[in-house]
Chains A and B, each alone.
Chain A
Amino acid sequence: KAGVTQTPRYLIKTRGQQVTLSCSPISGHRSVSWYQQTPGQGLQFLFEYFSETQRNKGNFPGRFSGRQFSNSRSEMNVSTLELGDSALYLCASSLDPLAAQYFGPGTRLTVL
C-alpha cells in the first residue's frame, strides 16, 4: 500500500507570496492532519480534517488555511508568506482521528 505523499518536496518562495501544499493520504484513510516543524518550536499542529470537515485547528494566524476533498486528499495554503514560515510541513493520515497517524516525507518551505 502506498504511503502518504506530499508535493512538492521542496519549495522556495519570497516574502508576500502565497503557497499551496498538497497531501495524498494512504488509501482508505479519511483523516489528514498538518504540522509545522521548526528547530525552535518543534512540531506544531496546524489542522486536522476528517471527511472533508475541519475537526481541529491549531494556534496559527488566519494566513494558514486548509481543506480536504472528497477523495481525502488535502491541501494547505499559506498566504502573505513571512520569513518565519520557513519550515518543514508534515502531513499525516489515519483511518480516523483516534487511529495512529502515518506521516509523509514533508514539504520543506524556504521563504526568502
Chain B
Amino acid sequence: AQTVTQSQPEMSVQEAETVTLSCTYDTSESDYYLFWYKQPPSRQMILVIRQEAYKQQNATENRFSVNFQKAAKSFSLKISDSQLGDAAMYFCASGGGSEKLVFGKGTKLTVNP
C-alpha cells in the first residue's frame, strides 16, 4: 500500500523568503506520479505542481519547484519569494498505475508580513 508522510504539521516563513516543505512516500508502483496541492482557508484545493517519477528533471512552476530524490523516496516543495497568498495547507500526494491517489496529512504554511 502507498503511504505519504509529511513530517511538518506547521511551517512559517517571512514574506519574500524561501521555505521548503518535506514529503516522503512509499509505493510499490514502478510508474507513479507525485503532486503538491494547496488548500487556502475555506477555499478550493489547487494543483501546485506535478512530477512524473520517470523524469529525472525536477518540476518547476514559477516560484514553486520540487526536489525529487527517487532513491530516497523524497519529494520536497520549495517556495521562493513567499507571498501572503501562499498561506495555505499544502498536501503532498502520490498515485499511479493501479493505485489510487494517496495524500499526506498536510503542512500548514503561515506567511508572516
Show the binding face of A for B, using Cβ within 8 Å: 33, 35, 42-43, 45, 48, 56, 58, 90, 92, 98, 100-106
Q: Which residues of A contact B50 (CB under 8 A)?
A: 100
Q: A42-B105, A42-B106, A43-B91 are in contact. Are A100 and B100 (CB under 8 A)?
A: no
Measured CB to CB, the nearest residue on chain B to A43 is: B103
Contact A102 B47 (CB under 8 A): yes
Show the binding face of B for A, using Cβ within 8 Å: 33, 35, 37, 43-47, 50, 91, 95-106
In the bound complex, what is the Cα–Cα distance between A58 and B45 (angstroms)? Answer: 20
Which of A45, A56, A104 is within 8 Å of B44, CB to CB?
A104
Q: Which residues of A contact B102 (CB under 8 A)?
A: 45
User: Would you give the shortest CB distance from B16 to chain A, in whole angstroms?
Assistant: 29
Q: Which residues of B contact A105 (CB under 8 A)?
A: 43-44
User: Would you give the shortest CB distance from A57 to chain B, in whole angstroms?
Assistant: 8
Q: Which residues of B contact A33 (CB under 8 A)?
A: 100-101
Contact A100 B35 (CB under 8 A): yes
Contact A103 B44 (CB under 8 A): yes
In the bound complex, what is the Cα–Cα distance between A106 and B104 (angstroms)? Answer: 19
In the bound complex, what is the Cα–Cα distance between A2 and B1 (angstroms)? Answer: 34
Which of A45, A90, A101, A104 is within 8 Å of B47, CB to CB?
A101
User: Would you give the shortest CB distance from A11 to chain B, in whole angstroms?
Assistant: 16
Which of A42, A56, A106 is within 8 Å of B100, CB to CB?
A56
Q: A90-B45, A100-B50 are in contact. Are A45 and B100 (CB under 8 A)?
A: yes
Measured CB to CB, the nearest residue on chain A to B103 is: A43
